[in-house]
Amino acid sequence: MNPTLPIELGNDDMQRMSHVLRHRLRNIAAGIRGAVTLIDEEAGTAIPDGLREYFPLMLRECEGLSDIANRLSLFWADPSSATTPAESATMITARLVSEINRRFPNVEVRQRIDGDGMVPDVMTMALREVLVNACEAAPRGIVGIALKPEGQQIGWTVSDTGNGVPDANREQAFLPFFTTKPKHLGLGLSLARRHCQRAGGDCLAKPPVSNATEWTVALTCAKATDTNERSDC
């Protein structure tokens, strides 16, 4: 169940809340990491093997807390202030596919590239969120990614062979903290949409095709001529 807030909060309120949350999350992660390191150094071989096995797990949890803190700081960034360096859409795609292959070795990633163009590099974060979401939905399935420029628009379509998303939840999936997955925070797709909107585009859900759920990341902005130029969206 996803709780709803009894009052309407403005963007300034959410920014203050996210600042407090990420500050506390970072402090918790740093405290746990420091305690584990200190115990390991001080106790050394006196630590039972059964207990030592939990150390890597605790450190991974710390990394997860730090990741959540960093994502919270990105979510409530002011969209109007976004001016990011430009990068080739095909380079972003290739780099993220390589990253996904390492992170999700049981997922088969299929690519289709129908052109290229320069896009704000904030799209790296947007596309990563959508790809990770697709891989988590189909951990042993197929994830497709297609890149197709159309005029001044650069569009990615990411599909997966997971269980899909009910029609009633299709738009809700882009709300912060909405998730149907156990032990997930529900920030991925909302962050992807936020990043796309910062770049002058959007992140939308398309109707399912067969057993696949398609998510489209669409970017509209003036194409830059090289990676040193900045988007003027």
Return d(Cα 77, Cα 94) in angstroms, integer.
27
Whole-model pTM? 0.69
Give the pLDDT score at 98. 95
pLDDT tens for residues 187-215? 788 888 888 888 878 888 876 665 555 55
Q: How far is CA 85 from CA 40, 77, 217, 229, 230, in A?
A: 43, 17, 19, 6, 5
Task: Write out the two tokens for 110.
Answer: 């299929």
Lowest mean pLDDT among 4-8, 17-21, 228-232: 228-232
